[in-house]
Structure 1
Amino acid sequence: MTRIVVLATGGTISSRTSGQGGSRAKDTAADLISALRDHGLDDFSTSDSPEGIELESEDIAVQNSFNFSFEDLSRITHAVARILSRENVDGVVVTHGTDTMEETLALLGFTHDDPRPVVLTGAQRSPDHADSDGPRNLHDALRTAAAPASRDQGVLLVFGGEIHSALGLRKRHTLAAQPFGHRSAGALGAVLGSGPRYFAQALTPDPLPPPNAEFEQQRVDMVLGYPGADAALMHAALEAGASGVVVLGAGAGNPGVALTDAIAQATAQGVLVGLGTRTGAGPVAVIYGGGGAVDAVAAGAVPLGDLPATQARILMALLLSTHTPSHARDQLQVRMRQQT
């Protein structure tokens, strides 16, 4: 018998219309599992696991993910590690809101150090919606977590019938049934009638230490480049005590003259600056001077490749929580080179 633990954190998959206005997270992990039976999705026999899947449920939060802090992400990560410390567990499925799922995927993806799969899933339509996608996504995630082929694939997202690797992933659409995609790659696999099928082996990074109390206190802000952008937002981040800043430049990562000057000021103060792009796909490319990425890198910013800024922010906070700023910068550069 394959044992999978369902760790619920809230999100749309657990949300119902509230008398207080709008939908709010409500259903527990046990509720989500019970809903599988209501939708005829409680047959977990697969060709890979003919004995079936034995489920456990645990709740760590019942809230919508747009309210999550670093502390919440850390609690989820430590709960997953605690569950995997048990030898009788074969995998973990985490149900999560889609709004900030990419951040939790990043924290788990950078720290996961176990061959057993961790699979995140959620929903775009709540359980009281006539066409809720939550039960099907959860069913697919459970089958994926239970499949031997999922071992050593790292942290995964299963959503809309697709299997994605955690890192490089972002929510690209507000309402579509499949809102997730990678900046520069496709799906890792798909959940078909016979179960999960992989098209490729995930590239998993060397794991970092799990988040600590220092991680939970890190302030890493994001500053957007746009026509007319000055240094006001960068200065505000520094005055607020930011230890790191992600600057999202236009195009391939071009912030403009005012922000490149501010990057130089920030790095001179020991602040870690990552250079991302506000575009939806493709990597940062160091091509242009005159306020472009060439000048930003010369000012001390680290190009973030095709890692989404939301996920790079998590990586920067992890590195800053265990290293001096200069060492964190060196480690960030090493990890960005390993992406290419």
Structure 2
Amino acid sequence: MNPGDRVRVEHADLIDEGVLMPTSDADHLVLKLDGGYNVGIDRAEADVDVLESDVYDIDEGEEGSDRSEIEFDDDLPTVALISTGGTIASTVDYRTGAVTAQFDAEDVLRAVPELAGRANYRGRVVADILSENMTPSIWQELAHAVKEEIEAGADGVVVMHGTDTMQYSAAMLSFMLDTPVPIVFTGSQRSADRPSSDNVMNAICSVEAAKSDAAELMVCMHGSPSDDWCALHRGTRVRKNHTSRRDAFETVGAAPMGRVDYETAKDGSDDGSGVTFDDDYRARSEATLSLNGDIETAVELVKPTPGMDPAAWDYLDGKAGIIVEGTGLGHVHTDLIPRLAELVEDGTVVGMTSQCIEGRVCDRVYDTGRDLLDAGVVECGDTLPGTAKTKLMWALENTAKPGDAMGRDLAGELTEESQPWT
């Protein structure tokens, strides 16, 4: 028996039937029941009958390789699945009951058998981490992996990523890469052992988005609490706005650039089934592949609060860049302005964003703002604070005047003016 087989298991006077799942624990079987929950069963007590095997074929690839692929169909497009870990690529550790990032790319294919027949898949593992452990060096590895997969003929790329820091990774790769094919980040708010898991729908909709005509970097996640559609967010304008809702991700300051209707996507008969775009996008024919992957890591994002001691910012000495998540239109306590002026004088690029979710900074309205401009702080418009940090990390290594670059739109992160929308 192998993961993906449908089995009947007799154990402790009970009979369970479902799909055998991968597990990190050699002492237990993990069975996904028809109701959606996973159950762990002691192997020593289990009497197993395989009801259906070889549901789909997976070639494990060369031993020790970080790539894998399923059997190819010349009539299907090729989608590269790149795993970095996270809940969408996680399983329950039945020793502890905790959800841990254990899956490699093949495991994801086994966990979401509905992906079979939609595309030819190449699987690749860049990292096996929970996304709170993401680092700049992994961003660079991920960007190179995406480029290599596209060079090898992938018609689209799906990056499986933990949701906690997915907005940072999507923004960083938006600056690093110019792409001729869709690059789609996706994740899961709820793990696969829960009936309310969003992993299957997000994975299916992401693959369909990766088969579409949009040569853009997007984030594909639930667009509502129900299993009806996924939103396609521009990688530099998206933010996780809820800790646990399935529709936690939102485009800030605009509507999502597109959507994927799940009922249509499940059919999967056409390239990009169910995918529609409401915003302008760059088509496959309009882009060429390039990577500018150098980044400056000595950049910090800081958030001033009432009563903050200016000495708390002493650790910023010597940083190449700082993004300030200021209050309102882009303000800090006046006692902090001399500290920022010293940093600018020492060569640090200081950019100003806002703690507000909507709107843009404008330091020409109040005295505090004008003093910040006189101190050399640069305005970042309506760029999201996390996006601004990744942009400055990239701009310091790839532009002649990074301070000026923070005021220009480079990858859809900055609008000329904020507009009301519904």
Identity of matched residues, %? 26
Match for 1:140: what amino acid? C
* Residue of structure 1 in register with 2:217 after alignment: 155
Which of 218, 230, 241 is equivalent to 2:297? 218
CA contact (8 A) 1:305 1:339 kept: yes
Q: Distance in 1 between matches of 2:380 and 2:120?
A: 41
Q: Distance in 2 between matches of 1:203 and 1:91?
A: 14
Q: Give the number of the structure whose residues are more often strand, by fraction.
A: 2
Which of 404, 408, 411 is equivalent to 1:334? 408
Q: Distance in 1 between matches of 2:376 and 2:282?
A: 28
* Residue of structure 2 in register with 1:67 after alignment: 133
Q: Cα distance, 1:30 vs. partner?
A: 1.1
* Residue of structure 2 in register with 1:190 after alignment: 259
Which of 66, 75, 79 is equivalent to 1:4? 79
- Could you tell which deviates more after superposition, 263-272 or 330-339? 330-339
Structure 2 residue 332 is matched with structure 1 residue 255: yes
Q: CA offsets per residue over residues 154-189 of structure 1, 9 Å max, x none?
A: 101111111111112111111111111122111111
CA contact (8 A) 2:323 2:353 kept: yes
* Residue of structure 2 in register with 1:47 after alignment: none
TM-score (norm 2): 0.70
* Residue of structure 1 in register with 2:310 after alignment: 231
Q: Give the number of the structure whose residues are more often helix, by fraction.
A: 1
Q: Distance in 2 between matches of 1:283 and 1:20?
A: 46
SS at match of 1:225: coil
SS at match of 1:181: strand
Which of 129, 132, 149 is equivalent to 2:194? 129
Paired residues, what number?
Answer: 318
Q: Cα distance, 1:207 vs. partner?
A: 9.6
SS at match of 2:112: helix
CA contact (8 A) 2:78 2:121 kept: yes
* Residue of structure 1 in register with 2:243 after alignment: 174
Which of 4, 22, 28 is equivalent to 2:98? 22
Unaligned 5+ runs, structure 2? 1-75, 223-229, 265-273, 417-422
Unaligned 5+ runs, structure 1? 45-52
Structure 2 residue 150 is matched with structure 1 residue 81: no
Structure 2 residue 366 is matched with structure 1 residue 289: yes
SS at match of 1:228: coil
CA contact (8 A) 1:229 1:258 kept: no
**Greater relative contact order (CA < 8 Å, ≥ 6 in sequence):** 1
Q: Distance in 1 between matches of 2:97 and 2:376?
A: 46
- Could you tell which deviates more after superposition, 106-115 or 118-127? 106-115
Structure 2 residue 344 is matched with structure 1 residue 267: yes
- Could you tell which deviates more after superposition, 307-316 or 254-263? 254-263
Larger radius of gyration: 2
SS at match of 1:339: coil
CA RMSD of aligned residues (A): 2.4
Structure 2 residue 400 is matched with structure 1 residue 321: no
Q: Cα distance, 1:118 vs. partner?
A: 0.4
Q: Distance in 1 between matches of 2:291 and 2:120?
A: 30
Q: Cα distance, 1:114 vs. partner?
A: 2.2
Match for 1:198: what amino acid? F
Q: Cα distance, 1:263 vs. partner?
A: 1.4
Q: Structure 2 vs 1, CA of residues 232 and 57 (structure 1 numbering), >3 Å: closer, same or farther?
A: same
Q: How does 1:27-66 map to 2 (within 5 A)?
A: 27-37=103-113, 40=114, 42=116, 44=118, 53-66=119-132
Q: Structure 2 vs 1, CA of residues 74 and 227 (structure 1 numbering), >3 Å: closer, same or farther?
A: same
Structure 2 residue 195 is matched with structure 1 residue 113: no
Q: Cα distance, 1:21 vs. partner?
A: 6.7
Q: Cα distance, 1:244 vs. partner?
A: 0.8
CA contact (8 A) 2:131 2:166 kept: yes
Q: Distance in 2 between matches of 1:307 and 1:207?
A: 25
